[in-house]
Structure 1
């Protein structure tokens, strides 16, 4: 008999035993075992050897499409998160600035609850809630919702601070001209606040690029999930981590330089 074509079956599981024997027979009849065995031999010939730097380079070359795909997922997650967080955060920032004490307290409670609990806990919470509601909801949807909710609490404070940074004289001038609150915000306050808000949103995007690494707990395909897959495939831990770290460093450094460039351009425009 072929080595590797035997399977242990719990005693009394006759249906499972018969089905397993049927599958094994099909594998033998089609010659799949020899095919799989040869593929394993060929893969073993490509075994990654050498010192740490050589192994890291070989892994990077062999698995670069996977790392590139993981980076794309990471950047996409960060973009969608900050975009959704900005929409929700703007609403909560305006609520917190309202004169209604009750909704002010609700907004403050929401922001403090989100900012006061770990993101990983929030991820698990939303994944569990969505699974309880409907087990068919994709894991990616649960993760994105959790990330957006987390980001919205931080963006709300960014936008609130940007609005409050506008000189009070601008508010008073708009009021003296008889502008409504909505008109004043759209025409006077937001155009001036945006100069301090945009760089902070850029920094929030950079933070989310790094925070999405926590989503690797759910294997949704971002960069750290790819790191785990490559680690499992190669039996090397430090080398894939080093590659992921270099990618994160290059991306966040480039984005931080872009944010600083935006800040300089805005100061010049002032």
Structure 2
């Protein structure tokens, strides 16, 4: 009982006292905001990279672009996201007044794009090649076939994996406090500095991440089941 009373007192100090819960909620709002827009950036860049890699296999004129795409993906996937964030914030966008959270969005968007590119490429290649041949037999160009026939069918394979990428990205943004962005992890560290107890605030932050990840995982599972039902029909 003494342990529970002590834990409850620590929770009260770390979360309720002086309305500290507001800092956690604002921080988590920043986490979701950065994650959402980073995924959008990642999908846009990743789609371009995936299409370039797909076309590079089929047309010689795209091969130089395919090499560039491969180099980009290798570098981004082969280096730590924390190092990328430091380079983007302190070197590339080292401009007075440039928002730190925007550097975070760009960094995580670029990092995510390398993984999203492979997700989209795998989804495209999962579509039967006969579909592309059918499009060409109808007089469509490579790009028209991609837009009207291949991509609509690939979307079903891509969406669940993109949902998982969003979940992973939410957790990865926990390092954004390294560039002075007040996310939920940074908020927990600030509370710990004031209360001289870092464990309780970090456990609160971890619990908030866990709840959101569980909810998103459940929603993603429901979405995948609906896609499976539509396929059977």
TM-score, scaled to structure 2: 0.90
Q: Is the contact made by 1:130 and 1:137 (CA closer than 8 Å) also made in structure 2?
A: no
Q: Is the contact made by 2:34 and 2:104 (CA closer than 8 Å) also made in structure 1?
A: no
Per the TM alignment, residue 56 of structure 1 is displaced from its structure 2 partner at its CA by 1.7
Distance 1:101 1:182, change over 3 A: closer
Match of 2:41 in 1: 84
Larger RCO (CA within 8 A; separation ≥ 6) = 2
Match of 1:154 in 2: 115
- Pair 1:109 & 2:71 matched: yes
Match of 2:197 in 1: 236
Q: Is the contact made by 2:34 and 2:101 (CA closer than 8 Å) also made in structure 1?
A: no
Match of 1:178 in 2: 139
- Stretches of structure 1 that go unaligned for 5 or more consecutive residues are 1-49
Which has the higher mean CA deviation after the structures are superposed, 179-188 or 110-119?
Answer: 179-188
Q: Is the contact made by 1:93 and 1:157 (CA closer than 8 Å) also made in structure 2?
A: yes
CA–CA distance in 2 between the matches of 1:188 and 1:142?
Answer: 36
Residue by residue over 1:126-166, the C-alpha shift from the partner in whole angstroms, topping out at 9 and shown as x without a partner, is: 1122354x233222222221111111111111111111111
CA–CA distance in 2 between the matches of 1:84 and 1:135?
Answer: 23
Match of 1:66 in 2: 23
Residue by residue over 1:50-83, the C-alpha shift from the partner in whole angstroms, topping out at 9 and shown as x without a partner, is: 6124312442223211111111111111100000
CA–CA distance in 1 between the matches of 2:128 and 2:194?
Answer: 58
Match of 2:89 in 1: 127
How many residues align? The count is 220
Residue by residue over 1:163-221, the C-alpha shift from the partner in whole angstroms, topping out at 9 and shown as x without a partner, is: 11111111111111111122212221111100011111110100110000010112211
CA–CA distance in 2 between the matches of 1:235 and 1:73?
Answer: 24
Per the TM alignment, residue 225 of structure 1 is displaced from its structure 2 partner at its CA by 1.0
Q: Which has the higher helix share?
A: 2
Which has the higher mean CA deviation after the structures are superposed, 96-105 or 65-74?
Answer: 96-105
The 5 Å alignment of 1:39-78 reads 51-62=6-17, 63-78=20-35
Residue by residue over 1:89-132, the C-alpha shift from the partner in whole angstroms, topping out at 9 and shown as x without a partner, is: 11111111123221111000000100000000000011122354
Match of 2:79, SS state, is: coil
Match of 1:250 in 2: 211
Which has the higher mean CA deviation after the structures are superposed, 109-118 or 95-104?
Answer: 95-104
CA–CA distance in 2 between the matches of 1:195 and 1:106?
Answer: 28
Match of 2:161 in 1: 200
Match of 2:105 in 1: 144
Match of 2:127, SS state, is: coil
